Amino acid sequence: MSDNHPRPAVPRVRRELPVTDHVPRPYDGPPRAKVLALRKQYLTPGLLTYYREPLLLVEGHMQYLWDETGTRYLDGFAGIVSVSVGHCHPEIVRRVQQQIGMLQHTTTIYLHPNIGEFGRRMAEHMPADSGLSVSYFTNSGSEANEIAVLSAREFTGNVDVISLRNGYHGGTQGAMALTAVGTWKFKTSPAANIKHATPGYCYRCPYGLTYPSCDVRCAKDVEPLIRYETSGAVAAFIGEPIQGVGGVVTPPPEYFRIVYEIVRQHGGLCIADEVQTGFGRTGTAFWGFENWGVKPDLVTMAKGIGNGAPLGACVTTPEIAAMMARRVHFNTFGGNPVSVTQGLATLDIIDRDGIQQNAYAVGTHLKQRLMELAERQPLIGEVRGMGLMLGVELVRDRVTKEPANTATADVLELAKERGLLIGKGGLLGNTLRIKPPMCITKDDADFLVETLDEVLTLVTRRNQGTP
């Protein structure tokens, strides 16, 4: 940390977690050490865990989680943005229990009332004149993106696909090939016919330019990328309206309009990956793409769609969807009665309980308070995002923007010790990711900010050698 930064004051007395009337059941399962040992011995080492001492979580209720000792945490990361309306939401639990006791599975070769109804509800939630009315249900976001790219290639007859650097589209081979971030990508994952364009990451503009005088060069560069590095005709462009894993990278407002126009001029379809931004999370719109005034041809989603259920979807127009009927194509669990029941219950709660409106109100308050925090916490380089999809990028020096990676890891650890779970990520691994279940209250948001305030102060003072 360079010396010309202010020294934050010694932490004040800390705010307590807001009260809840939920009483967790006593945990009588195996001890944490045994759970950890089993995991280390029998599960793939490819599964990462957060925290120096990985956390054992045994119960959840709405925005809160409990570990095996009964310690409560505010969930500021929602199972990586999956829990949209609250952990074990009582209405969802009741409806899923009812369904699982009636019929768990048959596959889509038979009829079941819930799948068609869920398809209808999906279509209803798309912009009125978008033509996006046909769903393909999957078990994950990766699978939804595979289907979207496959459909676009079949529909256009082109093979080249444009995705964004710093984006994340999943862990299957095809989805990983769309992902350009080095640490996520296995060397053998094929990226043939995929070209990576520049995202609208203004805080670290690769051209060294500043918005708006940059004339949104990152978006306009898609044109020469297609002209010189593809066959000249593309199948699709895929992008997250706000990059999630990439560190809540929020582009300039006209970024997607420019990119979509260029891609369409070259015969391509546009895919919006709404796995993190959908279902009201950005507060100002139900879908992230609506914030940018664009209309995608295919929309992919997962995570928040089912409040934690293994459920995803690719929603498109009847014309594009028809391509998938050219071959025998089958998905054993996609759209099964239990997952779809969970999706329907989630959607009912989002609509009925004003979840998007809460994401807007609490998210606006939270972002405002984080921006105030940035004024007195020198580690904060930028606060960005919308609604309850927020990122705080930490730097060692605001001028050089040197990433504060160790501090980011320390902040996560110290926040956990104080009852707050948040995520981290970003191009350089130095962005705090704050994406709680969308049922959180202003009191929770205040607890989150004040805990971060204390923790950032401790980390800064530690870095400065001040006790």
Where along the sequence are the contacts to ligand PLP (CB under 6 A)? 80, 140-142, 145, 168-171, 240, 244-245, 273, 275-276, 302, 312
Write down the least CB distance from residue 252 to ligand PLP, Å: 20
Write down the least CB distance from residue 190 to ligand PLP, Å: 18
Write down the least CB distance from residue 377 to ligand PLP, Å: 27
In terms of Cα–Cα distance, which of 278, 263, 249, 261 is closest to 144?
Answer: 278
Write down the least CB distance from residue 66 to ligand PLP, Å: 24
Are 136 and 253 a contacting pair, CB within 8 Å? no
Residues 6 or more apart whose Cβ sits within 8 Å of residue 322: none
Are 292 and 282 a contacting pair, CB within 8 Å? no
Write down the least CB distance from residue 208 to ligand PLP, Å: 28
The smaller minimum CB distance to ligand PLP, of residues 240 and 454, is found at 240
Write down the least CB distance from residue 397 to ligand PLP, Å: 30
The smaller minimum CB distance to ligand PLP, of residues 84 and 145, is found at 145
The smaller minimum CB distance to ligand PLP, of residues 86 and 312, is found at 312
State yes or no: cis peptide before 212, omega within 30 of 0: yes
Quote the CA–CA distance of 136 and 32 in Å, as a whole number.
Answer: 40
In terms of Cα–Cα distance, which of 355, 333, 280 is closest to 91?
Answer: 355
The smaller minimum CB distance to ligand PLP, of residues 247 and 378, is found at 247
Q: Closest residue (Cβ) to ligand PLP?
A: 141
Are 192 and 235 a contacting pair, CB within 8 Å? no
How many Cα atoms occupy the beta-carbon half-sphere of 282 within 13 Å?
A: 25
The smaller minimum CB distance to ligand PLP, of residues 306 and 363, is found at 306
Concatenating the DSSP letter of every residue in 304-351 gives GGGTTSS-EEEEE-HHHHGGGGGS----SSTT-HHHHHHHHHHHHHHH
The smaller minimum CB distance to ligand PLP, of residues 302 and 392, is found at 302
Concatenating the DSSP letter of every residue in 362-414 gives HHHHHHHHHHHHHHH-TTEEEEEEETTEEEEEEBS-TTT--B-HHHHHHHHHH
The smaller minimum CB distance to ligand PLP, of residues 275 and 320, is found at 275
In terms of Cα–Cα distance, which of 419, 432, 449 is closest to 64?
Answer: 419
Are 268 and 152 a contacting pair, CB within 8 Å? yes
Which residue, chain included where needed, has tokens 């364009």? 197
Q: How far is CA 382 from CA 2, 310, 403, 405, 454, in A?
A: 17, 33, 11, 15, 18
The smaller minimum CB distance to ligand PLP, of residues 141 and 337, is found at 141
The smaller minimum CB distance to ligand PLP, of residues 166 and 377, is found at 166
The smaller minimum CB distance to ligand PLP, of residues 170 and 378, is found at 170
Write down the least CB distance from residue 309 to ligand PLP, Å: 11
The smaller minimum CB distance to ligand PLP, of residues 80 and 88, is found at 80
Are 351 and 343 a contacting pair, CB within 8 Å? no
Cβ atoms within 10 Å of 362's Cβ, excluding its own: 22
Write down the least CB distance from residue 459 to ligand PLP, Å: 27
Write down the least CB distance from residue 174 to ligand PLP, Å: 11
Write down the least CB distance from residue 258 to ligand PLP, Å: 21
Are 394 and 379 a contacting pair, CB within 8 Å? yes
Quote the CA–CA distance of 426 and 46 in Å, as a whole number.
Answer: 19
Cβ atoms within 10 Å of 50's Cβ, excluding its own: 15
Write down the least CB distance from residue 115 to ligand PLP, Å: 19
How many Cα atoms occupy the beta-carbon half-sphere of 47 within 13 Å?
A: 8
